[in-house]
Amino acid sequence: MRRSRPGRIVLRRAVTAVAVVVALSALCFALLDAAPGDPAADVLEARSGGRPPSAAAVADLRRSMGLDDPLPVRYGRWVADAARGDFGTSYKTGRPVSEVLADTAPWTLLLTGAAVLISVLGAIAVGLAAALTRRAWLRRSIETALFVIGGMPGFVVALLLLWIFSAWLGLLPSGGLSEPGQGVTPDVLLPHLVLPALALAFGHHFGAYARLVETGVGRLRTAPHVDNARSRGLPGRVVVARHLLRPGLVPFAARLGVGVGGLVAGAYATELIFSWPGVGRRAILAAQGGDYPVLTAIVLVTGVIVVLANLLGDLAVGWLDPRVNLERAHAH
């Protein structure tokens, strides 16, 4: 059976990623176009502080916005504008949607980035400990803890952390970080970031990540090349890093790309629970208020991030072990 080259598979996945983004953009535009109401009237009403606009003003703005053009023309213009970061104007505030995203996206990226860092470092540390320990009780304890964590929904993890560290021990704030645009110093930001980042990390796939590291490293412990490295007198840390950890992380890296997408989606609920001023809270407000340009922009940007995360996961697999068959890695 002919073996697929990793580079060819990654290229094929990149083409698939582009096709998914195109399909997602078409879906977002279709939803935006089918939204109730008149976009021109909504924008004028938002700019005037709620006063109903005149029919002439609405007609003029519709012409300037190109809303009377054929659907394919409007879609092509919308895609071109979105590629430049222009997602239109909020129906409720009259502000450019790009400004709304600029206010909120950094908070979501900070939260998600912190959660990914905790997930990666924590899963590697816990998975290595379970794979390399010679104490059966320690391995069973770790596996039991991972089983319990893996079976808990993300919002339950968030509420449990809130109860322990905020309500019971009083060590960390429960939320209420300043709204977007207000200055936040690092000494204020860090305590507010700890709980939502931990909740997001441990509430989404952490148990599966650690078990993948344990399985990937554990199956290589007695491999011939590892025994050969030990027999050559290489230090234990070199054997672990070069001959155990790097190839052993292939299944974990393949799963992590998919998991990052779950983290981005899970960040929305986490932001709501912890009053974190990110994209998730803004998306909920936009859905409740019928602010469709903001909502569709958030959906599109989130989808692109998920697709890119999956593609980066494939690249990480190829970097960790160029010999690996990516199709088989994803199957595991």
68-80 pLDDT, tens digit each: 678 888 888 888 8
| Structure tokens belonging to residue 36 | 């109730």
Whether 275 and 176 have beta carbons less than 8 Å apart is answered as yes
How do the domains of the chain map onto residue ranges? 7-83, 103-290+298-331
Q: What pLDDT is attached to residue 234? A: 65
Please count the residues of the chain: 332
Q: Which of 150, 127, 148 is nearest to 139 (CA)?
A: 127
Q: Up-side HSE of residue 61: CA atoms within 13 Å toward CB? A: 16
Measured distance CA(23)–CA(72) in Å, rounded: 14
| Neighbour-count burial of 219, counting CB atoms closer than 10 A to its CB (0-12 exposed, 13-18 middle, 19+ buried) | middle
The dotted CATH code for 103-290+298-331 is 1.10.3720.10
Whether 203 and 195 have beta carbons less than 8 Å apart is answered as no
What is the mean pLDDT of each successive set of 10 residues along the chain, which is 332 residues long? 56 82 87 73 69 73 71 86 85 82 88 90 87 80 81 81 86 69 68 89 83 79 66 66 70 73 78 85 81 86 82 68 51 48
The model's pTM: 0.75
Whether 140 and 147 have beta carbons less than 8 Å apart is answered as no
b/e burial code for range 178-214 (CB count within 10 A of at least 16 → b):
eebeeeeeeeeeeebbbbbbbbbbbbbbbbbbbbbbb
Q: What pLDDT is attached to residue 327? A: 47
Q: What pLDDT is attached to residue 135? A: 80
Amino acid at site 232: R
Q: What pLDDT is attached to residue 1? A: 42
What is residue 96's three-state secondary structure? strand
What is the dihedral angle through the alpha carbons of 203, 207, 209, 212, rounded to the nearest 10 degrees? Answer: -160
